[in-house]
Every structure is written in C-alpha cells, then in structure tokens.
Structure 1
Amino acid sequence: MPKYHSAAAAEIGRRIRAARQELGVSLEDLGELAEVNWTTIGKIERGASSPTVESLIRIATALEVDPGAFVTGISAAQYGGRPHQLTARDFIAARREQGGTRRTAG
C-alpha cells in the first residue's frame, strides 16, 4: 500500500495540517468540530487518502478557512494515472474536426 494516495492528496493534507496546527487544534478536537472521524483526518493529512468534498468542507468550516484554499492550484495531473490530458474543450474541437454533431441530453 503506498504511503500516500497521490501528490494532490499529499498537498491537500499538508495544507489542512498547517491550518490545524496554526490554530493549535488537535486531530481529535478537529474531528469533533468537523464531525469527521479524527483518524480519517489523520489519513487525509498524511496524504494516505483523498478527502471527499463533504469532509473537505466540514474540515474547512471548522478551521474557518475557505475550502478553496485547500485545492487552489491542484490539477488532475497530480492525481496520476490519467492516460490523457484532454479537456472538454479539446474533446469538442476534435469531434467538430471529425464532422460529428451528436449531442446528448442535458
């Protein structure tokens, strides 16, 4: 089992730990305040797991930090295992070049 989930998870965890330590809050106390198990927060801080959006927002709220501060600058490439770097814009442009006009219901 890897020490960390991904470079992105490690960076998000580092940011959370720094915010928590800056306030002098223990993992146990943050867990209680955020209503997230403190062992889960520990795994997130170590980068061993990636937080769910709900956990991220609960932790940020408890620390009085904008949740965006934990993910600013993080890219999909930092999660690894992505076989391509295409975006929706790239996909649409390629489809137009091939003459495809298929649309999906939204």
Structure 2
Amino acid sequence: MPRVPSEAAAYIGARIADARKRMGVSQDWLAATSGIDSSNIRSYESGRAMVSVHTLVRIADALDAPPGDFLDGLTLDLFGGPAGERKKVS
C-alpha cells in the first residue's frame, strides 16, 4: 500500500523532529533507541510517511515525551481530501 503524504503527516513529523533536536540527538540515535529503521525516521520527519500509533508511541518513549505531544494541535483539515472532511451526524 503506497504511503500518501498529507499536511497531517508533515505536522506530526515536524513535531517529532523538533523534539529530537531539542534533545540534541540524531535521527540515527532515535532510530537505534526506538528500534525503527532510520529511513523510516527520515520519512516521518519529512512528512513523506504517516507514522502509525504504535510507532509514534515507540518514538515518544525514546524521546521521553508523551505521545500526545506530537498530536497536540492536529486538526481534521490537515488530513485533506474526503478522509479529512467532517461528516454530518444525523
């Protein structure tokens, strides 16, 4: 299944990159510490791939941050397209 980038992926990725840089660690360190391939870390941080919940928790654990910190401020409109549109509830 191809990965489709979105503003949401870029938003979360930027928050991961910011937290990593604040800690003063490299992408390779984050990869080794979280057990996630470094190419995936680069894809997440650049917004080329959407991180799964399980992976986000692993990254958050490595960065000693609550997983919710990476989602704070995320809104439906960042997902774009039909998947990001709000549906009326009858």
Q: Which TM-score band (shorter chain)?
A: 0.7 to 0.9
Stretches of 4+ aligned residues off by more than 3 angstroms: none
Take 1:56 and 1:21, find their aligned partners in 2: how far apart are those partners? 17
What is the deviation of 1:76?
Answer: 2.2
Q: Following the alignment from structure 1 to structure 2, what is the Cα–Cα distance between the partners of residues 68 and 82?
A: 25
Percent of aligned pairs with the same amino acid: 35
Distance in 2, Cα, partners of 1:43 & 1:25: 17
1:66 aligns with 2:66: yes
- Give the number of the structure with larger relative contact order, counting CA–CA contacts within 8 Å between residues 6 or more apart: 2
| TM-score where L is the length of structure 1 | 0.75
Alignment-derived partner of residue 53 in structure 2: 53
Distance 1:31 1:17 in 2: 12
* Higher CA-based Rg: 1
Structure 2: unaligned runs, 5 residues or longer: none
Amino acid at match of 2:31: G
- Partners of 2:6 and 2:38 in 1: how far apart? 20
Q: d(CA) in 1 for partners of 2:6 and 2:20? A: 21
* One-letter amino acid matched to 1:20: R
Deviation string, structure 1 residues 4-32 (Cα, Å, up to 9, x no partner): 81111111111100110111111111001
